[in-house]
Amino acid sequence: MTGNGHSWRGWLPHLIIIAFSFVLYCNTLFYDYTLDDLIVIKENAFTKKGIEGLPGIFRYDSFTGFFGVQKTLVAGGRYRPLSIATFACEYQLFGGFNPIFSRLVNILLYGLTGVMIMLLFSRLPVKKPGKDWYLAIPFIAALLFVAHPVHTEVVANIKGRDEILSLLFSLVSLWFTLRYLDSKKSHLLLLACGSFFLGLLSKENAIMFLFIIPLTIWFFTKHPLKSYVSCTLLLFSTALLFIFIRFMVLGYLNSPELPKELLNNPFLFATAGQKAGTILLTLGLYVRLLFFPHPLTHDYYPYHIPLVDFTDVRSLVPLVIYSGLIIYALFRIKSKDPVSWGILFYMSTLFIVSNLLFSVGTFMNERFIYMPSLGFVFIVSWFLVNRLTKLVSDDKNRILLLQTVLLLILVPFTLKTIVRNGAWKDDFTLFSTDVKVSENSLKCNTSAGGKYLDKAQADPPGELKEQDFRLALQYLHKAVSIYPKNNNSLILLANALVFYKNDYKGAIDLYMNVLSFDPYDKNAYGNLFKVLAAIDEAKETDYKLGILLKMNNLNPDDPEINHTLGKLYGQYKGKLDSAAFYLVKATKLAPEAPGAYKDLGIVYGMLHDYPQALQALQTAFRLDPNDQQIGQNIAVTNHMIEQNKGKSR
């Protein structure tokens, strides 16, 4: 039988948990959108349609609304429509974006998760009997979970709602399953399956509850195996339905190959030994963050976490720790030790985001520990209630000891959470704060450098502007030194050289570097043309021609490159045949662009090929009848044709 104490039916414990959640996160309410909020909310085409965008949200990969096309940026793709659907509904409700309400919803859902933890554990035979509900495992576990600072990313970043909903609905599913087994009311089993399905639609991690639910039933109830096999089978069928829908949307269960880009494939340059060693290192870091959540950062991308070999002590220590936990859990599973359940909960929910099963696109993230941390707080609560209190014999002293230890945990956790929330005020604050922690992260240095560059451009002239430009260059140079083939960091560094030092040639070298390994990068290409346009063509003709010829070798079918080459050869080098060659090519590549036809007509005129000049100019005029110069050139060309006819007579 599961536990069902009367004291847990009152509203006071629930209200305390929800109120505590608001105390912890109320300072985030007036913050702006940050980080991935851009992808799923602010710049998501489906979200901005409100309710009309819901079909697209459920029909495509979670990145499609931002990029406009379905992309495989990370292994397996992403299909997490439920949280994005809630953002679309909020947009519809307010007629636009409202981060205050979105953050309020996040805090409320987080508080409800704490309540659900308390309700769930109150059904398990783990709490001590008596009236002191505030000293029992369900309430203590809920408090510790809500207070844990490692959850700040999930709550303070609005996008983190997918994590909140996934765990919340998974716990609800487990709760309804336990209630069904006690009452045999079929509607409760349907509610369990429905909740599980909603958890899966929030984030795929919920699938681990196919293991957690039967494990919990076996550990904490006396129901015979037969009675819950049917529950498990029905939940398994629900998971199969989700997998089928996901397959129909994405076209695959997992990507056929990992992306060849460091920020989405952190093990791109790692050996097998380094991959194994680094995964073990991150597993150890998760344990450290659970016990000592400092410092915190949103960015664990390469190479904030270094690549370490399997034989490195930094990977061997976590290997010993996790091996010990597994051995303990397996040896104690027969006796149904609650600590064993907590370890298995932690291990199973962490496994799916550990990079052991498949690449998750980064070494680690604090949000990845959100679901597993429930196993951790359960174990801590169990030890506090069942082991710590045995250190003293007197009941009064026992209670005092427990209260003191709880305060020693909760007070610093609360302060750390509130302080850490401040980093999530906006993107600039987040990146400029976390780059001091993630000093060797390619992504964080690039993001911080980009934000300082934006700020410097907006600053009024003075020392602050100079300082922000210097910081932008510092972080962007660091990013390029970490990985010299990242498009974004190279382009931003080039932009900084232009805006801060007027170093056009240095910027051009960086843009050309990007195009050397990604000839179709639109940002590098567009910025390069802008910088080239700022260089004096008469004085730097040979330099510009050299750059354009290199660009043409990389991307020979670009009409703008061919057009510009034609103009330079004709106007400044006097090589009319070369000019005609590139301009003809430009007109073929972009037959609806009048500029190349206009310049081609001029070149043909200079070559005295007036019929072809007239044909090119007439095409240009048809495409742009408002250009008076084209009309004048047509008149001159007709005059030359008539003059030549007169001479031939």
* pTM for the whole structure: 0.90
The ranges of the chain with pLDDT < 70 are 1-9, 69-76, 127-131, 252-259, 646-649
Q: Are 135 and 170 in contact (CB under 8 A)?
A: no
Instruction: Write phi, then psi, for 316 (nearest 5 degrees).
Output: -70, -40
CA nearest to 492, candidates 517, 474, 519 = 474
- pLDDT of 647 reads 64
How high is the pLDDT of residue 71? 62
Residues 610-619: contacts with CB under 8 Å, at least 24 apart: 610/637, 610/640, 610/641, 610/644, 611/641, 613/637, 614/638, 614/641, 616/587, 619/587, 619/594
Ordered structural domains, the chain, with CATH: 548-649 (1.25.40.10)
Q: Which pLDDT score, from 0 to 100, does residue 78 have?
A: 82
Give dist(CA 501, CA 550) in Å, integer: 24
Residue type, 388: L
| Three-state secondary-structure class, residue 229 | helix
| pLDDT of 264 | 87
The token pair at 610 is: 């007036």
C-alpha pair distances (Å), 235 with each of 58, 197, 590: 21, 9, 57
Residue of 246, 234, 11, 255 lying closest to 115 (CA atoms): 11
- State the DSSP H helix or E strand holding residue 183, giving kind and residue range, or none if neither: helix 161-183
Q: What is the dihedral of CA 285, 286, 291, 295, to 10 degrees?
A: 60
Please provide the DSSP assignment of 537-593 as one string: TTTSHHHHHHHHHHHHHH-TT-HHHHHHHHHHHHHTS--HHHHHHHHHHHHHH-TT-
